[in-house]
Amino acid sequence: MAGIKDLARLVRELEDQMVVCMRCGMCQAVCPLYAETGREADVARGKLALLEGLSKEMFRDPRGVSERLHRCLLCGSCAANCPSGVKVLDIFLKARAILAGYMGLSPVKKLILRGMLANPAFFDKVTEWGAKFQDLFTQPANEMLGTSCARFMSPLLGDRHIKPFAARPFHADVPNMDTAPGSSGIKAAFFVGCLIDKIFPSVAQATLKVLRAHGVGIYLPDNQACCGIPAASSGDMTAFKKLVRHNLERFPFERFDVLITSCATCTFTIRKVWPVLFSEDGADLLARVRGLSEKTMDIHEFLIRRLGLSPPMATPDSNAVAVTYHDPCHLKKSLGVFREPRQLLQANPRIRLVEMAQSDWCCGLGGSFSLEHYDLSSQVGRRKRDMVAATGTRVLATACPACMLQFYDRLSQAGDTVHVRHVVEIYAESLKT
């Protein structure tokens, strides 16, 4: 447990960031959680008002403060639309760290975050065993989508329809790689991410195909770890910093020109969250964090902005498949990347892009939010599922594996037959091999 003086100091550091909030209420109009509950406490303005008295409330009712602060998807909608430029996500992540430091973590969170997630080799083994035995505990839910549900009543799975672990994780087929730059003259490190590695390895394979096709050298180290966002969102700085240090060792930024990911949340975490939460660490370590952060790009952003690709918008052929696109929150709202995935989709002549209403409305997953508040997550997700259904398309494309998981659940629960695919998979299919 952190000392009271240290906690008080951290609280004071938040004051300068919070004071710029004008309480205008713009965040109400864009908050997906507020749209479902109508509760002021669920919107950013309400949480910031709560945090203004954090130093007093934390000691009087720390559990109540923590519960209200964790009722947030961390989607960044409020920050992206704030006229005052309040860094809401930075504030909430720091506040969660303060509360976790004061209250400590539950035994379950310690087991998951510090026992498994912060030990990559052990985490890989656990998930590999999970893939082998998952059929004992799950049964098919929607065969077209390939989803499963709990075979027996399960406190972990509940009523969820899940995308099972892949039979083989990506790292088992491609443990490492180090190739020289080709025609592009650029060498890219590839940060795979947990969900792509263990559930969507086809996305990683498509990423490698795209990089090779465009003459990009690939640096792919073995034993990669989680980007750390589950630990950061839980306020567990011990597990978070252990994961960051591990990845810094695996990705010495002098070895490559750019670090790319195909996961919007991983990109956001490395580029935006790492420097913020490491502000109190030593200068050398902070320099390495910032060095890697500054080199990090989303795969779509990399292809268009760094490689300078300008794929012509293909004329859809007569058999083109109608595809709609969902903007991941962390990609559009936090990183400003939204045109690039569409450009890559429209480069495939077998695709006809159909825009959905409110394509950047949050899908409702929110990482650990879905585990702790599944009913609320489902409510937000159902609204998004209806937006997809209204397009009449049979393929949903997005650029975040976490969003993909949420859509598999919501579409499967509704009995839909809509394929869920990553943009890079669809773009890879348009390339000649």
- Please tell me the predicted confidence (pLDDT) of residue 3: 43
Residue at 233 is within a domain: no
What are the residue ranges in the chain where pLDDT is below 70? 1-17, 50, 52-59, 155, 279-281, 312-314, 433
- Which residues is 297 bridged to in the sheet? 260
Q: What CATH number is attached to the domain comprising 364?
A: 3.40.50.10700
Q: What CATH number is attached to the domain comprising 69?
A: 1.10.1060
Residue at 180 is within a domain: no
- Please tell me the predicted confidence (pLDDT) of residue 2: 44
CA atoms within 13 A on the CB side of 229: 26
- Please tell me the predicted confidence (pLDDT) of residue 205: 98
- Please tell me the predicted confidence (pLDDT) of residue 55: 56
> Coil, helix or strand for 3?
coil
Q: How far apart are the first and last CA of the chain?
A: 56
Residue at 219 is within a domain: no
DSSP sequence for 232-247? HHHT-HHHHHHHHHHH
Where do the DSSP E strands lie in 183-276?
187-191, 217-220, 258-261
C-alpha 95, offset from chain centre: 20
Cα(146)–Cα(172) distance, rounded to whole angstroms? 22
Cα(266)–Cα(173) distance, rounded to whole angstroms? 22
Q: Write out pLDDT tens, residues 307-360.
A: 988 876 667 777 889 999 999 999 999 999 999 999 999 988 888 999 999 999
Domain housing 414: 321-429
pTM given for the model: 0.93
Q: Please count the structural domains in the chain.
A: 2
Distances (CA, A) of 123 to 120, 194, 357, 408: 5, 10, 39, 24
Cα(43)–Cα(78) distance, rounded to whole angstroms? 8
Look up residue 87 and give its two tokens.
């860094």
Q: Which of 63, 80, 104 is where one domain is finished?
A: 104
The 395-398 sheet, strands edge to edge: 351-353, 321-325, 395-398, 419-422
CB 186 within 8 A of CB 216: yes
Q: Write out pLDDT tens, residues 186-213.
A: 999 999 999 999 999 999 999 999 999 9
Q: Which of 104, 121, 156 is where one domain is finished?
A: 104
Residue at 390 is within a domain: yes
DSSP sequence for 7-49? HHHHHHHHHHHHTT-----HHHHH-HHHHHH--GGGSHHHHHH
3-state helix, strand, coil in the chain (%, to 5): 55, 10, 35
**Of the candidates 260, 106, 117, the residue with the CA atom closest to the CA atom of residue 184:** 260
Q: Which of 37, 70, 104 is where one domain is finished?
A: 104
Residue at 373 is within a domain: yes
